[in-house]
Structure 1
Amino acid sequence: MVSEKVKMKLYNAASQGDVTTLVHLLEEHPYLVHGLSFPCSRNLLHIAAMHGQTSIVEQVLNLNPELARISDSQKSSPLHIASARGHVEIASKLLAVAPEMCWWRDKQGMNPVHVAAMNGHVEILELLLLDSCMPAMERLHRGQTVLHLCVKHAQLRVLKVLVEKLGELVCAKDDDGETLLHLAVRGNQLETIQYLVENQAVEKQTRNSMGKTALQILKEGPPTTAATYLQMKNLLINLTNDSLMEVLPKMSDVTMVVVILIATMAFQVAVSPPGGVWQDDKSSHRAGEAVLATTNPKVYRHMVRANTTAFVSSLITIFLVTTGLPATHFFFMAVALYAMWVALMAIAISYVMSVDVTTPNQRMHSVGNVIMMVVAGALNMFGWVLVYVAVRHLYRSWKNKKRRQQDLGGDAFIRRVFYRIFHLLETRGFSRADR
């Protein structure tokens, strides 16, 4: 049985880095390096790691490397303690002896990666994840990830490092459906919210298990300083308006149904025109030609143009949607949506003209013309609204990138053209710099 005096000397030597005293005591009592336990069931490695005594850690590992695999009463290994205190060199030596300790969990369910992230030790994290990032993928209590832990403890610097390494976790939810953005709002972390809003991979409008978005949580939460609240609110409000790039992929199934129906209608009008086709050959026509082309050639030409426009626009939309371009390229996406509305307008005009030429009542002719003008005007106006929304989206993207001083040269050609136009307008006073 070791005396309390010897035990205290060993503790002091390990905590103060007194290698000479430690070696002398272990030479007199060699069994102590194997079975000695301090309060909370800690061994010499726990004590040395807690106080950052690298030389003591080296000496003890040389004598008994198995101590690196022994946990204390809280199930914390020496690597847990070194990670919590930020002792990089000690963590490196412990990893060399027992690399599997990266996976071991303490009583709180945390492995050393979680502990380092919670305490903001970036250097320790990079060391622990050098060989594999898999320990960082382990979930915590109630399904929280290591990224949730970073936000919960306001460790933005660590969060940025881990997002680069664990990009697929950035949209993860815990068991309550809470994302990183939800937690950042609950913690009134303005800088974290700004970082997450700017991150393209983060799903901005995700709802938790209560059906609430981050903006709703902000409005329902306890009041904070006016300036901070307004800044967070403005950041989150900008996310509520889905950009055109986010809207169209959600509409792709409906879009395909609509344009296929329009293409079918246009094809049917082409092979079976209103009034039918001639069944015999004569001097004024041949068999198979449209009757309307002979009896009313002007109307027939307009109808064919509208019908062809509808058919071609439908084919363009079908091509763009089926090739997947709308989901990844803003320009092609806008073209697809615009082409669909052109097809709708054209098929409406074709329909009204078909009804007009096949209806004997002159009054119905006037009604048909009015309907055609109203439909054409409404759809044409919608087309201009679509153009406005697309240009506004590009303008806001340009302003955001300019404010963050991001490089604009890597964007698509069509975007750079618009960016150049916006720059010229702003330099000439046509565009407000604070919009």
Structure 2
Amino acid sequence: MSNATSTDLYEVTMAQSYLREGMTGSATFSLFVRDLPPDRGFLVCAGLDPVLDFLSSYRVDADDVDVFATVMGRRPEDLAPLLGLEFRGEVRAMPEGRIALAGEPLLEVTAPLPQAQLVETYVLNQLSHQTTVASKCARCVLAADGHPVVDFSLRRTHGIEAGNQAARLGAMVGFAGTSNVRAAHSEGLTAVGTMAHSYIEAFGAEEDAFRAFARSHPGPVTLLVDTYDTGTGVATAARVLRDLGLGPGCAIRLDSGDLGALAVQARAILDAAGLQETRIVASGGLDEFAVDGLVRSKVPIDTYAVGTRIGVCADAPYLDSAYKLVEYDGRPVMKLSSAKVTAPGRKQVFRRPEHADLIALIDEPPPPDGTPLLESVMREGHRVSERTKLDRARQRFVTDLAALPAGARTIRAPTAPRAEPSECLSSLTADVRRHIEQNLLGDTHGAL
């Protein structure tokens, strides 16, 4: 059984019907986000490499057919037309790290209709989840306003792979490190970590725990100071760091309570002990909203460790994403359902300095100073682009972020820019709508 079975049942039932009816003409599906979640001024594109890996190896084998037949209560021979089906299409997409807006295609798939339909679920899953997480991480970097941000999310993400993705995506938008050992090793990230409260509790006294930890880790250490009384813990940590000469490069971590007030208290204790270079790390239920509040209050926190709320995107855990047919067999098509209208035709998105993004038809000439965002990444089922390098994706993000209006970068109640349709796209949309309303309503062909 291959990843071909990682799909929704209706993708299989539709593909089976298309094959039976001989409907194998070229189809283009466009993946976009209808509206941004609350408190989002932009999205950061992510998840493209897993999609291309999936498509390049996509093949329905005999075991897959058996699975389809079993769950459908059919005989394997009824699903025989699916056997051996491979993805041999074209993909155009925004590269990872690009900033995208509502309504803009993040990706377009063009392939024979059954192929393009069968891959919908996996493509949506990867791009939607990873774009959601990358966008949340980007907001944390903005909120931190130059202070380092590190990822502590692995223990709370919805699965280990989601945790690995969160670590990578955080690094893509500027995180300074991750607690995730596997991700740090595989992605070349800085591994960060301290100790748990259980470590402190395992010793007879807090000072014993700190000294033992320092003996095992003679380099710079970070000591967790809030297991019992935070003020006492900071003072004890200061004494140990000073006695052992470990001040420079070391840190204390605050993980609970009023982090702002405790940071002020801790800074005073450390400074009085001559440990002005000892940093303060804050963690414990932080997200961009909490970080923004602390930074604005100018509390003496040096590094922010974000975890649960980032790894699961607690305030906005999903995107209103869609994968919709926009052209079949040379015919532009669209959906007219209330609040879910789609624009027909294959498209390109142009980014223009000092102007709104322009969503145009694929064969339109670019506007003056317009940069096309959708790039060809797969042809005839084979990748034509290199795997994403984190530093390249990070540079795309930094460049696009700097060009965003200030209102889109605010943490609370941002103003999200809106892309504009070109005149040609608007004209085609009106023509297709009129054609459907006048000639095809009630006709099964209009369901395409």
Structure 1 or 2: more strand by fraction? 2
Relative contact order: is structure 1 or structure 2 higher (C-alpha 8 Å, sep ≥ 6)? 2
Shorter-chain TM-score range: under 0.3
